[in-house]
């Protein structure tokens, strides 16, 4: 039986009169990378805060490590998880090394681990740099390095690569894959659909505080695909050929006549699916 790291049932959070989360249900399995996708203000960060014991839910149940999530606020559970949120900041008058050394001491991790985690985020040679002199992207990588220090069982990442260039994003993605190979469970919130597609085993689409869809990315793409093919012909025409016997015959004819330059599936991206579900872009 699959061990579940997170279990959420009928979770709701209301700020004043404004519902932030409504009747949210999901589970996250051990070792899984679970994507929680939605635009800004959809309730992603609120969910992370509830799951890490920083915020009380208005109603419903949230369990992490089989314990009520509110208990994660207790010191004995804190070594088991790590959090990177878009507002978890660093001590900007201190060096990268000093920032990480503090957390090595707090988590009882040997200081030599600092080298390993800085390599993971491509900052191996920057240990002595003062944080105030770093770019936003470099700060984000230091935050990630800090979260990797104690090799948590469960990692909450809130928009972890939002300020990174593609090369550094790839470096971080490789690091995250390494962690999942070692058994770390990742709860990832993002509005970067490409990131979700390449990293997540399952994704949930959150919109206006409710989960609209939840499944594996490839199953969702298949579910929303119309099975048609995009065909580019030598005469420059681009055709959308429907699935089924009729389409197959048409494609066969073009190929027989040596007219075909390229064939692509019309499978939607996660972004397309989100827009179709909610009628709005992910921003």
Partner 1 sequence: MTFSMKRVAAIFNKDLKDLSRNMYVSTSILIPLVLAAIYGRMADELSIDTYYLVINLAFTMTATFIQCAIIAEEKEKNTLRGLMLSPATVVEVFIGKSLVAFSLTALTIIVSCLFMEYNPENIVLVAVGMIVSTLFYLALGTLFGLLARTVVEASVIIMPVVFLLGFGSLIESFIDKYPFLRVAEYLPNLQIIDLASKVQAGSGLADVWPHLGIMIIWFLLTSLITIVVFKKKEIDV
Give the integer Cα–Cα distance in Å for 133 and 230: 49
Cβ neighbours of residue 155 under 8 Å, at least 6 residues apart?
81, 82, 83, 84, 147, 148, 179, 184, 185, 186, 187
Please identify which residue in 26, 36, 65, 103 interacts with partner 1, judged by CB under 8 A. Answer: 103
Using CB under 8 A as the binding rule, the residues of this chain from 73 to 92 that contact partner 1 are 73, 75-76, 78-79, 83, 87-92
Q: Which is nearer to partner 1, 53 or 268 (CB)?
A: 53
Q: Which stretch binds partner 1 (CB under 8 A): 26-34, 51-59, 117-125, 275-283?
A: 51-59
Shortest separation between residue 192's beta carbon and partner 1, angstroms: 22
Shortest separation between residue 154's beta carbon and partner 1, angstroms: 12
Give the integer Cα–Cα distance in Å for 27 and 4: 7
Give the integer Cα–Cα distance in Å for 49 and 70: 10
Q: Which stretch binds partner 1 (CB under 8 A): 3-11, 99-107, 215-223, 260-268?
A: 99-107
Please identify which residue in 44, 49, 139, 207 interacts with partner 1, judged by CB under 8 A. Answer: 49
Q: Report if residue 110 touches partner 1, rule: CB under 8 A.
A: no
**128 class by beta-carbon count within 10 Å (0-12 exposed, 13-18 middle, 19+ buried):** exposed
Contact indicator for 182, 188 with CB cutoff of 8 Å? no
Contact indicator for 172, 195 with CB cutoff of 8 Å? no
Q: Which residues contact partner 1 (rule: CB under 8 A)?
A: 49, 52-56, 73, 75-76, 78-79, 83, 87-94, 98, 101-103, 105-108, 146
């Amino acid at each position: 039986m699959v061990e579940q790291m997170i279990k959420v049932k009928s979770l709701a959070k209301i700020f004043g009169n404004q519902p932030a989360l409504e009747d949210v249900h999901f589970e996250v399995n051990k070792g899984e990378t679970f994507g929680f996708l939605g635009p800004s203000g959809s309730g992603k960060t609120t969910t992370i805060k509830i799951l890490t014991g920083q915020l009380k839910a208005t109603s419903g149940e949230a369990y992490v490590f089989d314990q009520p999530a509110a208990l994660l606020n207790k010191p004995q559970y804190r070594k088991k998880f790590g959090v990177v949120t878009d507002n978890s900041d660093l001590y900007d008058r201190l060096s990268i090394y000093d920032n990480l050394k503090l957390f090595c001491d707090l988590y009882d991790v040997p200081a030599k681990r600092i080298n390993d985690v800085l390599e993971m985020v491509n900052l191996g040679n920057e240990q002595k740099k003062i944080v105030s002199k770093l770019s936003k992207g470099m700060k984000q990588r230091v935050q990630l390095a800090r979260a990797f220090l104690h090799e948590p069982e469960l990692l909450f990442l809130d928009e972890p690569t939002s300020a990174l260039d593609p090369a550094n994003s790839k470096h971080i993605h490789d690091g995250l894959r390494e962690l999942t190979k070692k058994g770390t469970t990742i709860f990832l919130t993002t509005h970067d659909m490409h990131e979700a597609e390449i990293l997540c085993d399952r994704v949930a689409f959150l919109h206006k505080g409710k989960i609209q869809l939840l499944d594996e990315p490839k199953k969702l793409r298949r579910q929303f695909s119309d099975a048609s093919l995009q065909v580019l012909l030598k005469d420059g025409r681009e055709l959308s050929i429907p699935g089924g016997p009729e389409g197959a015959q048409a494609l066969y004819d073009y190929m027989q006549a040596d007219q075909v330059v390229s064939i692509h599936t019309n499978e939607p991206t996660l972004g397309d699916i989100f827009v179709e579900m909610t009628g709005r872009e992910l921003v």
